[in-house]
Chain A
């Protein structure tokens, strides 16, 4: 158990809909990262938050957005969903947001299926 929790574990929704994925980092970790794992694209970095502020952006679509709340949990919002958004979405946390040296602890992921 990494100490990172993600809800829900599974999500099935229809095209055009909007969903919210939730992540709680390990106790004491200030950084939260979101990743997408799909069959065709592999694992991709989406976005990072550090202590409530956006720190870095990767291959995140404009239809996707995220935020980190004062209690440090984070939410990833996916809107106008398309079939191609079906993937496993991971959240990870680390102690620091200022360096890539620190191990990232991954949550169990949310499996999103868009039908």
Chain B
């Protein structure tokens, strides 16, 4: 079975500052993918960034980047130049590759507050 742990239930950051959200995971599979999704107050789940486990290079998407440490099974999200619109619940998610997807395994989420 897969597990995902987000140890920070809530984080707060000043607008324009940088914040890092932590995530660790556990799986015995070698073929998997990691995602960060955000859920703003509208409740819509929105993809922020994805990382293929077989890639060593950390994914980046504009102001969002990850620090993927495969050996440590760590997948943190860094948000640079935080904006008010970044306020949301952020979920770290593990997805297995290969045949027969098993859906997604979610962390409990980190509530990100942006202070103006």
Q: Which residues of A contact B (CB under 8 A)?
A: 2, 31, 33, 35, 42-48, 55-56, 58, 88, 90, 92, 97-101, 103-104, 106, 108-109
Other-chain contact of A100, B37, B44, B96 (Cβ < 8 Å): B96
A53 to chain B, nearest CB (A): 11
Top 9 A-B pairs ranked by shortest CB distance?
Answer: A45-B103, A100-B95, A106-B45, A43-B106, A100-B101, A100-B96, A56-B102, A42-B108, A99-B97
A100-B33, A101-B33 given as contacts; is B104 within 8 A of A109 (CB)? no
Do the beta carbons of B103 and A33 come within 8 Å of each other? yes
Residues of B within 8 A of A98 (CB): 98-101
Q: In the complex, A45 Cα to B45 Cα: how many Å?
A: 14
Chain A nearest CB from B36 CB (Å) reads 12
Asked if residues A45 and B105 are in contact (CB atoms below 8 Å), the reply is yes
Q: B91: which of A43, A56, A92 is its contact (CB, 8 Å)? A: A43
The smallest C-beta distance from A2 to any residue of chain B, in angstroms, reads 7
Interface residues of B in 61-111 (CB under 8 A from A): 91, 95-109
Known: A108-B44, A109-B43. A45 touches B102 (CB 8 A): yes
**What sequence of 0s and 1s flags, for each residue 4-32 of chain B, a beta carbon within 8 Å of any chain A beta carbon?**
00000000000000000000000000001
Distance of A33 Cα from B106 Cα, bound (Å): 14
| A97, B47: Cα distance in complex, Å | 18
Interchain CB contact under 8 A, A58 and B101: no
Residues on the A chain within 8 Å of B50, using CB:
103
Shortest B101–chain A CB gap in Å is: 4
List chain A residues, Cβ under 8 A from B47: 103
